[in-house]
Chain A
Amino acid sequence: EPEVTQTPSHQVTQMGQEVILRCVPISNHLYFYWYRQILGQKVEFLVSFYNNEISEKSEIFDDQFSVERPDGSNFTLKIRSTKLEDSAMYFCASSSGDSKLFFGSGTQLSVL
């Protein structure tokens, strides 16, 4: 079965550093998403992306965050200057447009 792939599985960074989280969505999918889950809390929507532009973003997705689909396969989330509170599990998801989202295994980001 096709799957969404995320790399790395774990990322440790110093506060103030830039990080890029990478995702390879399912190949024929058109809609891409980032969610995050702070330890012990619910899964929260960050941003959705379609047709090479952001469809919707949450209040969490401030100017420190950006997304990009640099080629036909990758979908990245960049955090420009990480803060302690950015520590979380970040999930990428993709959909073909049938409202069914497939999630990756996540990247655990730890900001020290």
Chain B
Amino acid sequence: AQSVTQPDIHITVSEGASLELRCNYSYGATPYLFWYVQSPGQGLQLLLKYFSGDTLVQGIKGFEAEFKRSQSSFTLRKPSVHWSDAAEYFCAVGGTGGYNKLIFGAGTRLAVHP
């Protein structure tokens, strides 16, 4: 079965601290992996994606993610969190090809303390 697990429902970090959000997936074929961010009352904004190649991918807003095939994981990181990063973060997996249905994890809500 295709699924995405985000084990942390809520995470709180201090501003300036590093951030790591975990994601594990189950997918029968070669996956495309995504991290989206949702600020309150907003839509889903794509942070970064992994299709193939280098397992460390860079995204917007200083985020990066590491893909580990052996662990079926796609971990999102940021070296220094800003208060504006407080939001909900969703990991998603999809297939290759033109049509791509995404399967989302339940999300991790990030709170940032000043």
Contacts and interface: CB of A to CB of B under 8 A. Distances in A.
Interface string B30-72: 0010101000011111100101000000000000000000000
B43 A105 contact: yes
B43 A106 contact: yes
Interface in A87-107: 91, 93, 95, 97, 99-106
A91 B44 contact: yes
A105 B51 CA distance: 25
Contact of B90 (A33, A43, A104): A43
B99 A50 contact: yes
A66 interface: no
Contacts of A105: 41-43
Contact of A102 (B46, B94, B98): B46
Which of A42, A44, A104 is the most central at the interface, judged by chain B CB atoms within 10 Å of its CB? A42
Q: Using C-beta atoms within 8 Å of the partner chain, give the interface range for chain A.
A: 20 to 34
Interface in A76-95: 91, 93, 95
A43 to B, nearest CB: 4
Nearest to A4: B43
Contacts of A55: 99
Contact of B104 (A31, A43, A56, A95): A43
B32 A99 contact: yes
Contact of A100 (B41, B49, B104, B106): B49
Interface string A13-51: 000000000000000001101010000011111001010
A106 B97 CA distance: 25
Given A42-B107, A43-B90, A91-B44, A56 B101 contact: yes
A100 B46 contact: yes
Contacts of A41: 106
A101 B36 CA distance: 10
Contacts of B51: 99
Interface of B: 32, 34, 36, 41-46, 49, 51, 90, 92, 94-107
6 contacts: A31-B99, A31-B100, A42-B106, A50-B98, A99-B98, A106-B43
